[in-house]
Structure 1
């Protein structure tokens, strides 16, 4: 029965309580009047007790008519006070349903309605704080998303710039490797050429030694001719002229040998001219031989000339030693250059490998930045939707 009453609206329950109160008052009055009348009929007429009971019955009969309006007035006052509070609180609930979180219920007393209003106000306060926190969080997320978006854009631009610079460096490294390879090849050829020059220098040194030996023998022969005839003076002048030319050519040979141009080609040319002069000298000597026919004459001047030629050959030998030392030093330097070119080539190759690794890393950074940019876009969209949901509620 009480469960059925709980299902009725508040107005119906109030009206039912009013009817019950009025009915109870009328019933109580009628019952009292009936009981008093019945008791009065059993008493003698004109007695004081019967008169009192008749008055009581009359009063009991009029009592419901007096009590009922008073109950109605009291019930209506209670009704209007409850309905007023309920209407105010219903307006607050409707405002909250419309998204306005600022109104609060009117709390009257500590009964169920007051407890409900207090709980509702507490709930709305916490809900208002939650919505404000959501708005702040959405604003912070939006700000952070903007920062992340700018950072991802910067990362993407930096990765693109790094990739371009790495490509330029890679091309430079490739060109450097090619140039180093060409230098290494040229240095290797230089080493072979210097090796040949060194071998030719050794041959020239042996030839110079042989020339010194031959000059020594010629000097002995000329010494033995010191008793030759004075008739060969004219021929001796020719020999002296030839010796002077030989000295000049020998000096040129010394200069050419010192320069060591094109592996001693100049020295070979001078040696050829010396040979031709030697043939002319031989012809003159034959003429002298025919003229003196066994006459020995003092050939001291010839001895001096041969001695000077020996000195020239000695100078050539000394310069040849210097050339050999320079060639040896150049050989060592060339070897160092070849080794250095190999190291540079290996370093260029390692640089190319490192550039490849850095380029791969730059590609990964670019991919990560793009994924971050997409994630930030999704986060921005989510934040916008949350902001729209939070904007429904007004604080």
Structure 2
């Protein structure tokens, strides 16, 4: 047996030697590398490749695209239980055309827009991974307010100026009291053994902008109620449009201040209170969808919210009569609760991760953006539409906003938060909600469609 194995080994080694020798001789043989052979082999390889490679690449590319779309749908649409409300969107259209019952259309629209607003915030958060914390906070506030702005533009186009004013006012009150209060409260419960800290300097800047917005709303109201207009019915509108342009300029300067000249002030604070651009928790987090997937989902959600907002606005007056509920309460309390779903979820989530600067950027930043950009923008858009949208929000509403800004500025002055401060803000919001429930607004033609 051993002899046979040795013979086999010798034979194999001889064969390998003969192959090596043959290969050496082949290398020296010029006929193997003649131009004809090379061209023939290249042609055969090219023919084979042209037949197989595009098919393989096309099949694999389609499969990868399908997998990516499925993974994106699974992450964005099927990962959140709140998305169970999304089928109410098509139901709104069906109920509108079959029954025309404004109460049901309004209620179903609220349910359908709620998950869309939350998913809009989610897509913005994913996009923020690629833009950094400062730009991310600005994007979160911007797209978080997209729902309110879309609803306002549809209402403005329908001539429902008072609904626009009240819904934007309600968004500011909701962000400053309810959203920020819930963030402070939930963060304080999670980190109950310490006080959470945030950048006091940025909070002071935002408080100053909010007070400037109150000034812009206060003077037209005072001018109206003191009857001191030079040109009755015109001076108030002219002052509102001029003040709106000034507020838009101020907000543009604030963006330059925040994103360019003093962007170091807006870096998040660490636990020790020092400014650091890279938080320790950020290293453990990664985006769940890509940048372009985030942009695509933002476009889809915004378009769908726009469609549903038209049905929502058309049903406001009918819902008020059907439910025997003041339009002021619906506009100031119910509409912002839906529109602020994204900010609400984001602010609480970041506060529970001890990222209070981002929570403040979402809540207070959103209020600042609505007051310094959203309201003046609607005045300018109404000006272009020929609609007399002004900054006279009436005395009761302006006083409510002024007191709210003072209370929030007082809570922010120390640069710390705890669950008790959050509870106080939430209770203040309940007082505001009760006040608007018993408040009878002026029955003027600004509620009616033109």
TM-score (norm 1): 0.19
Q: Could you say which structure has the greater relative contact order, defined with CA pairs below 8 angstroms and 6 or more residues apart?
A: 2
TM-score (norm 2): 0.17
Structure with greater helix percent? 1
